[in-house]
Structure 1
């Protein structure tokens, strides 16, 4: 039997809570552009994860919620939107033909994140994972063109799928409100102490820019 949306949300939050103790602050340079999945997300707002919560913490929960919406939309599409389903099936077959798919099979904490770090100005990469994936895509035939009638039907069905996704998303936000307290408690236990420690270390380094044991002035 298909799990209810309430059960899926509860299990996804449980999985995120089980992962959270393993989270550590990133030591590399931050992202230049905000994450389109997390920035201004109503799902994260419902969960009580504001802009003061590190993006890595937000992303793990956001992607888990996205997978629930995606699964619901996929089921709705398969049952009600034949033109869109046929297009998706063709795209899926095309994706399977690619020889290199580095973005697939990632854990939720890394899904949707950039495949490569931000480049250092003046020091370009010899190669990038994203570039290698694009080279793999070049050898896969393009999808066949659509007729005008098919395009019109596809646009209509895409609109219906978007409306359904928005409806599921709103219900998901309502369900997340029930988990807000335990989400915030977990952040207070596992995330905030690490951030406080980083700030303390930064403060000490600013107060004492030189090693007190170093005789060099």
Structure 2
């Protein structure tokens, strides 16, 4: 398992390194709520991606590592946790019954992010992707209720799955330490120059708030 996990982490880092040269700073309004996947992530700490690295760059790597952990937990669950596996199978069948699934099939750079932009006060949306997905979900029958005994047994299996996820997560963090130099070199080559260019452009705008073609006083007349 360790060798296989090492290969998966290396391949995921390679895929992220191929994507980083295509990254560009966002030009739209930033979000108020932080990303729960990336904020304080030990995976990003192990990779050497600190808070000074743009979130989009962080998210692409953390999502790829989360996929590795999720896949490992899925294999463990299928082999050892029959109650949890049955519950997941029922939920998967319920999800497949929905014709509209906007969160599926996304690239790692977008997976787990909010579907809709933050609302603007006084400018309500005609509709949202989240709202459409919830409306579709409401049409699908709910899962059958569980007995108290089944709930207790399911909670025990969920706890075991969480323990295994933490174990794999720690291994992934250890393996990422081997790739820190490659990751940081990519940030220095492809990300930092774009940030520096943005800061320089902002500084120029602050130094010259008016268009130099305007008449003295900054007035167009």
TM-score range, shorter chain: over 0.9
Instruction: Quote how far apart the aligned CAs of 1:122 are.
Output: 1.1
Q: What is the distance in 2 between the residues matched to 1:119 and 1:24?
A: 24
Residue in 2 that maps onto 1:118: 118
Distance 1:210 1:110 in 2: 37
Matched with 1:131 is 131
Aligned position for 1:62: 62
User: Paired residue for 2:191?
Assistant: 191
Take 2:186 and 2:120, find their aligned partners in 1: how far apart are those partners? 35
TM-score by length of 2: 0.96
Runs of 4+ with >4 A deviation = none
Using the TM superposition, give the Cα deviation of residue 192 of structure 1 relative to its aligned residue in structure 2, in angstroms.
Answer: 0.2
1:158 aligned residue? 158
Q: Where in structure 1 are there 5+ consecutive unaligned residues?
A: none
**CA deviation vs aligned residue, 1:175-214 (integer Å, no higher than 9, x gap):** 0000000000000000000000000000011111100111
Separation in 2 of the partners of 1:173 and 1:68? 12
Matched residue, 1:205? 205
Map 1:26-37 to 2 at 5 A: 26-37=26-37
Q: Structure 1, residues 62-97: CA drift from partner, whole Å, max 9, x if none?
A: 000000000000000000000000000000000000
Q: What is the number of equivalent residue pairs in this alignment? A: 217
CA deviation after TM superposition for structure 1 residue 2, in Å: 11
Secondary structure in structure 1 of the residue aligned to 2:51: coil
TM (norm. structure 1) is 0.98
Structural mapping, 1:56-95, within 5 Å: 56-95=56-95
Q: Deviations over 1:7-39 (max 9, x none)?
A: 000000000000000000000011110000000
